[in-house]
């Protein structure tokens, strides 16, 4: 194990856990930071978990002191992004910059806006038209501006809508209900191509970016399987479960009604454009550079279902 290194991960959710697992596999010492400081059973053995306030630069300075790389996998509640996300990331970035560590950011595709069905690539201009897309664009620009100014050495990893073990977003509403014989929830048009990423691959990408200096200063998309329709994803689920799966597709009206009671649903309405046109992410850059492909959706679905069954 490389004892002279320290890799610090902010956030102990699905992405943080899978980033930690890959770093541990690579023999790196890992410290994870959460608001509670408590480790759950899914945290890899040997990983240190500490309590921290990601909004506090002083706290972040102490936690990241001596770190080789710091991974930003934390985020506020979905409906609090506009107010809380930029200051959180700035507080982490400022600490990482002061401590001289590499800064690896886990990000999404919101800042590219509506590409009208055209494939999304890393070098496309940011054209956000949603509130959360503008927040993500602002944060993404701040990271790369800091890199270009020599304040920090940074890289950004992005994924399309992801699912997998430890995920409580897509997995909870689009997979887990099927195990209880209930209808799963799909969004918008179910017959259009959509890229789905696997959270384990997303974590592997971030760990790769943090351990390969040639990746710095760039944006990288998570190696992901070829896009399929939501209906095809349901069929993959049915094959894994061995029985038919009921589903319902929510549009703007239904989501707006549910949003009266569920803040996260209310915030999701503006993102429906991802589901009303083909939404295709081109991950060939990372695949060619790092020499690995995304996990097949068949294998990803099987692993996710097994986790769902174990964690009922």
pLDDT in tens, 36-53: 988 888 999 999 999 999
The least confident of 4-8, 59-63, 230-234 is: 4-8
Q: Give CA–CA dist 181/186, Å, rounded.
A: 16
Evaluate if residue 2 carries a pLDDT over 60.
no
Q: Give CA–CA dist 44/223, Å, rounded.
A: 23
Say what angle helices 297-310 and 230-241 make with each other, to 10 degrees.
60
DSSP 121-161: -TTSPP---SHHHHHHHHHHHHHHHHHHTTS-EEEEEE-SS
Evaluate if residue 290 carries a pLDDT over 60.
yes
Evaluate if residue 261 carries a pLDDT over 80.
no
Average pLDDT over residues 1-14: 85
pLDDT in tens, 84-117: 999 999 999 999 999 999 999 999 999 999 999 9
Q: Residue 8 pairs with which residues in a beta bridge?
A: 31, 70
202, two tokens: 């997303």
Grade residue 265 by pLDDT with cuts at 50, 70 and 90: low
Highest mean pLDDT among 239-248, 255-264, 267-276: 239-248
Evaluate if residue 1 carries a pLDDT over 50.
no
Q: Give CA–CA dist 87/130, Å, rounded.
A: 19
What secondary structure letter does DSSP report for 58?
Answer: H
Average pLDDT over residues 268-275: 87
pLDDT of residue 298: 98
Q: Give CA–CA dist 171/164, Å, rounded.
A: 6
How many other C-beta atoms can be found within 10 angstroms of the C-beta atom of residue 37? 12
Say what angle helices 14-25 and 199-211 make with each other, to 10 degrees.
50
pLDDT of residue 251: 59
Percent of the chain scoring above 70 in pLDDT? 94
**CB burial of residue 214 (10 Å; 0-12, 13-18, 19+):** exposed
pLDDT of residue 252: 61
pLDDT in tens, 158-201: 999 999 999 988 898 889 999 999 999 898 999 999 999 999 99
The structure's pTM equals 0.95
pLDDT of residue 89: 98
Q: Give CA–CA dist 294/14, Å, rounded.
A: 17
Q: CA angle, 128 as apex, 124 and 134 as ends, to 5°?
A: 120
- Give the chain's count of helices (H) and strands (E): 13, 11
Q: Give CA–CA dist 209/227, Å, rounded.
A: 24
Domains, the chain, ordered by start:
7-164+196-224+281-294 (3.40.50.720), 170-192+228-276 (no CATH)
Evaluate if residue 258 carries a pLDDT over 80.
no
Q: Give CA–CA dist 308/179, Å, rounded.
A: 8
Q: Give CA–CA dist 87/91, Å, rounded.
A: 6
Q: Give CA–CA dist 181/169, Å, rounded.
A: 19
């Amino acid at each position: 194990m490389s004892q002279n290194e320290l890799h610090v991960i902010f956030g102990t959710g699905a992405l943080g856990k899978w980033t930690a697992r890959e770093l541990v596999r690579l023999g790196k010492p890992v410290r994870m930071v959460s608001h509670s400081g408590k480790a759950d059973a899914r945290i890899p053995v040997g990983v240190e978990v500490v309590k921290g306030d990601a909004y506090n630069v002083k706290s972040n300075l102490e936690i990241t002191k001596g770190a080789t790389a710091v991974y930003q996998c934390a985020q506020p509640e979905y409906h609090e992004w506009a107010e809380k996300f930029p200051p959180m990331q700035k507080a982490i970035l400022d600490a990482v910059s002061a401590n001289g560590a590499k800064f690896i950011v886990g990000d999404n595709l919101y800042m590219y806006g509506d590409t009208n069905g055209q494939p999304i690539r890393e070098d496309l201009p940011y054209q956000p038209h949603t509130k959360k897309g503008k927040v993500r664009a602002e944060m993404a620009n701040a990271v790369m501006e800091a890199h270009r100014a020599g304040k920090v050495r940074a890289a950004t990893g992005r994924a399309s809508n992801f699912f997998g073990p430890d995920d409580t977003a897509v997995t909870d509403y689009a997979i887990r209900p099927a195990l209880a014989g209930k209808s799963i929830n799909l969004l918008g048009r179910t017959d259009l191509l959509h890229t789905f990423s696997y959270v384990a691959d997303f974590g592997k990408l971030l760990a790769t970016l943090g351990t390969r200096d040639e990746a710095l200063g760039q944006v990288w998309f998570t190696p992901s399987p070829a896009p399929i329709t939501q209906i095809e994803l349901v069929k993959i689920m049915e094959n894994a479960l061995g029985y038919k799966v009921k589903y319902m597709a929510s549009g703007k009206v239904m989501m707006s009604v549910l949003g009266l009671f569920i803040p996260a649903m209310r915030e999701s309405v503006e993102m429906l454009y991802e589901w009303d046109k083909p939404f295709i992410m081109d991950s060939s850059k990372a695949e060619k550079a790092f020499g690995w492909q995304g996990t097949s959706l068949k294998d990803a679905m099987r692993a996710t279902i097994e986790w769902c069954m174990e964690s009922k």
